[in-house]
Amino acid sequence: MKTSRSACPKYSARHASFLANLRRKLMAPVPHQDHHSQDETPPAPPPAATSVFRRVLSLPAIISVVIAALLLVFMVTRFDVDLSATWDRVASANPWYLALAFAVHYTTFIFRGARWRLLLQNAAESGTTVPGVLYCSQLVLLGWFANSVAWLRLGDAYRAYLYRDEQNGSFSRTIGTILAERSLDTVLVALLMIAAAPFLLDRDNSVTWIVLGLSVSLVVGLTVMLLAMTWAKGFLLRRMPPWMAVRYERFHEGTMGSFQRVPMATAWGLLGWAAEIARMYLVVRALGFDISFPLVVFLTLANALLTLVPTPGGVGAVESGVGGLAVRLSSLSASAAAALVLVDRTITYISVIILGAVFFLARQAVRRPRLADSSEAENR
């Protein structure tokens, strides 16, 4: 039986404390009588706006900025980056191409939202209504925002947390759909890298093989994990505590149930990756660099792999990794590669933090009056 959360006047404010609440919720037992994953209500957090800015200015976020700064200093000294030349390249970039790259980047959230909605529909129970593409895209954006300011890539868990609270869904089942989404992405990244790699191997550079091997290893690892989830399901359920078995059952249903209508999900995923590649291509054009299209594809996908590093937004790993690959696999100087990384990360990382925070606060401002009205109506 579904429970109503709108009766809690501080419901909207709970979202702002997602990181601490998620850790408690992941370990909390699940009542057997409730079909959905509805855990106990956490303590009331501070106001949303205050909590968000505390997250952005929290110690982990500050540490990540310091790490990024140290890595940038390392890149400047190690690769002999001319900061003046780097800034001149950035300042002379074509603003129209940059504006188009910015717009194209944010279409990825629409494509990813449409795909996630499809996976939610695949895994949903009979009679369950799944919200529209716009709503799902909003949660994807908020998940990316959370990944950009939090360690250990908690943005995916935050997305599932929001969906559970706002749609009365199962947290475990929703996490399963996100695992399926990541699995599809990993396969697509590996296939696209395999397609681009032959055009880069003539440079006699082992780094191409290393990145390609990493992507293929991720595919193999995920495949083994999914097969183990299927074959060992009964064994695991018999040995788990009852509360954990209930959650694992829902998680398994969400993951395996998502793998329906795979061609359509793949098409949405390809559109998302095409937008990512187009963004990088437009940044390259804006800076006037002569880089082959296969290398643009390779750098885009390497960027995505490096964001798996559990720092906020992959900060540090992405900057040094993409910059180093650009220097080794092309004729770009270290200063030019630094300009490429600086512009691209401004679009994919800095803008997500700024716009994500603004969108989060705007969303809370819109939802708060609605929840208050709903609470008053139920109390009459």
Classify 295 in phi/psi space as left (phi over 0), alpha (psi -120 to 50) or beta: alpha
Tokens at 316, concatenated:
């540090």
Distance, in Å, from the CA atom of 194 to the CA atom of 30, rounded to the nearest integer, reads 43
Instruction: Render pLDDT for 23-82 as a digit per residue (tens, 0 to 9).
Output: 454 444 444 434 444 443 334 444 444 454 455 556 666 676 676 667 667 767 777 788
Distance, in Å, from the CA atom of 75 to the CA atom of 337, rounded to the nearest integer, reads 10
Tokens at 51, concatenated:
């909590």
Length of the chain: 380
Say what percent of the chain tops pLDDT 70.
Answer: 76
Sign of the dihedral defined by the CA atoms of residues 95, 99, 102, 105, in that order = negative
Binning pLDDT at 50, 70 and 90, where does residue 168 land?
A: very high
Say what the pTM is. Answer: 0.83
> In this model, does residue 90 exceed pLDDT 90?
yes
Q: How far is CA 50 from the centre of its chain?
A: 24
Please provide the average confidence, as pLDDT, over all residues in the chain.
84
Give the H/E segment covering residue 298.
helix 293-306
CB 323 within 8 A of CB 79: yes
Distance, in Å, from the CA atom of 170 to the CA atom of 128, rounded to the nearest integer, reads 11
Sign of the dihedral defined by the CA atoms of residues 122, 127, 133, 134, in that order = negative
* Residues 6 or more apart whose Cβ sits within 8 Å of residue 201: 208, 209
Helices and strands in the chain: count of H runs, count of E runs: 17, 0
Binning pLDDT at 50, 70 and 90, where does residue 280 land?
A: very high
Name the DSSP letter for residue 223.
H
> In this model, does residue 174 exceed pLDDT 90?
yes
Distance, in Å, from the CA atom of 209 to the CA atom of 31, rounded to the nearest integer, reads 49
Binning pLDDT at 50, 70 and 90, where does residue 16 land?
A: very low
Find the mean pLDDT for residues 256-264.
Answer: 97
